[in-house]
A = this chain, B = another copy of it.
């Protein structure tokens, strides 16, 4: 059977600041500028979740994308949407919420749940001009 990748896009809106608590305030300001604002800022994030696998001969699907949407909402979106990424999100506890760190945390939360397909890529858009991608290693 052919190997196909299927992707579902989901959105969440959240507040954050880029901040490393191990550094001084001056160092945080120097490294992160206005993104370090202690009063927070925020984004409309878009997460593209790609799963890869054989096309199932019965369904014609790699994976039911409605089912994938449910998994991603349960594992990551529901805890991040309309939340503060520094203060309230279990999968980001103790993590500086850069796009890079968010996408890795999402990977770890989603990857165990998509078998028999495999999670092959996550792309996270932070603005319409910036995105990050992670393939699990």
- A residues neighboring B (CB under 8 Å): 2-11, 13-16, 18, 20, 23, 31-35, 37, 39-44, 50, 55, 58-62, 64-66, 81-84, 87-88, 95-101, 103-104, 127-135, 137
Contacts and interface: CB of A to CB of B under 8 A. Distances in A.
This chain's copy number in the assembly: 6
Report whether over half of chain A's contact residues are helix, strand or loop; otherwise say mixed: mixed
B96 A41 contact: no
Given A33-B66, A34-B81, A88 B6 contact: no
Ranked nearest first, the 5 interchain pairs of A and B with the lowest CB-CB distance are A42-B42, A60-B98, A39-B84, A15-B40, A34-B82
B134 A4 contact: yes
A113 to B, nearest CB: 19
